[in-house]
Amino acid sequence: MKQVLIAGVSGAIGSALASQLLATDSERIVLGLCRNSDAVRKRISDRRLRLARWDAETSTAQELGRSLAQMLGNDDCLDTIIYASGLLHDEHMFPEKRIEDFAAGAMARSFAVNCTGFGTMIRAAIPHLRHRRFKRVVAVSAKVGSIEDNRFGGWYAYRCSKAALNMLVRNLSVELPRRCRPVSCVAVHPGTTESGLSAPFHQSLASLQVHTPEDTANNLLGVIGALNEESNGRFFSWDGSELPW
């Protein structure tokens, strides 16, 4: 993992991933996509972190393609891509408890950030994946996006958009090996992690194991580091166990 692209590098999990990747290999370059690069720079000052502005709801693949070319410069190749952007709630939306809470706007925004952004990013990154080294393409999904595992209902927009993200991963796991072998494209569940995204639910999550972002980054990098061509097209939990789609 020498040239790593992370979308959502401002988030709790994204920034912990970037910090650990930079700390564990002095030759590694991390390209980070975020909406506010100043905020990221305050947390990670390492010059091997190159940042570009990107908003999953508005940025196009063409704009992102130009940013990637600029950030990569002569390095030109990406060997690891991690999509760690995600939206569960903000001042305009909150996870639905029942169908009366269902709102088209929340569905559209959740799809844009939790699913479409990943597709846009891979579309823009394809020219940088055509090399012979092993590539890892990883979408940070969520267990609640598993259709088979859904026994509680609710959280319509988040669940549906993560299930769609999972389908995008499966689709790419068919196409990418044809175009840029050797590659492994997977979805990962990070485990419940302290972050702005999970903050409103900490009380209801009290019975669950809640990880720090640093522990989650460590767990995910263990899973990502162990990927090989056999793991292509699978959905892994933070401890390396496999989840049903």
Ligand X SMILES: NC(=O)c1ccc[n+]([C@@H]2O[C@H](COP(=O)([O-])OP(=O)(O)OC[C@H]3O[C@@H](n4cnc5c(N)ncnc54)[C@H](OP(=O)(O)O)[C@@H]3O)[C@@H](O)[C@H]2O)c1
Binding positions for ligand X, rule: CB under 6 A? 8, 10-14, 34-36, 55-57, 84-87, 113, 140, 142, 190, 192-193, 195-198
Neighbour count for residue 152 (Cβ, 10 Å): 8
Whichever of 87 and 122 has its CB closer to ligand X, that residue is 87
E strand spans, 84-177: 135-140
Minimum distance of ligand X from residue 59's CB (angstroms): 8
User: Is 79 or 83 the residue whose CB approaches ligand X more closely?
Assistant: 83
Question: To the nearest whole angstrom, how small is the minimum distance from the Cβ of residue 182 to ligand X?
Answer: 26
By beta-carbon proximity to ligand X, the closer residue of 138 and 180 is: 138
Shortest approach of ligand X to residue 10 CB, angstroms? 3
Alpha carbons 110 and 117: distance in angstroms, whole number: 10
DSSP string, 24-89: H-TT-EEEEEES-HHHHHHH---TTEEEEE--TTT--HHHHHHHHHHHHGGG----EEEE----S-
Amino acid letter at 142? A
What is the smallest separation between the CB atom of 21 and ligand X, expressed in angstroms?
15
- With the CA atoms of 177, 179, 182 and 184 taken in that order, what torsion angle do they form, in degrees rounded to the nearest 10? -50
CB of 100 to ligand X, least distance (A): 24
For residue 106, give the 3-state DSSP assignment. Answer: helix
Strands 135-140 and 235-237: unpaired
Find the shortest distance in angstroms from Cβ 85 to ligand X.
Answer: 4
Nearer to ligand X, 25 or 55 (CB): 55
User: Between 124 and 180, whose beta carbon lies closer to ligand X?
Assistant: 124
Q: In whole angstroms, what is the distance from residue 176 CA to residue 138 CA?
A: 12
**For 69, left (φ over 0), alpha (ψ -120 to 50), or beta?**
alpha
* Separation between Cα atoms, residue 205 and residue 87, nearest integer Å: 18
Nearer to ligand X, 38 or 230 (CB): 38
Which residues fall within 8 angstroms of residue 128, CB to CB, at 6 or more apart? Answer: 68, 72, 76, 77, 78
Minimum CB–partner distance for residue 22 and ligand X (Å): 17
Of the pair 146, 180, the CB lying nearest ligand X is at 146
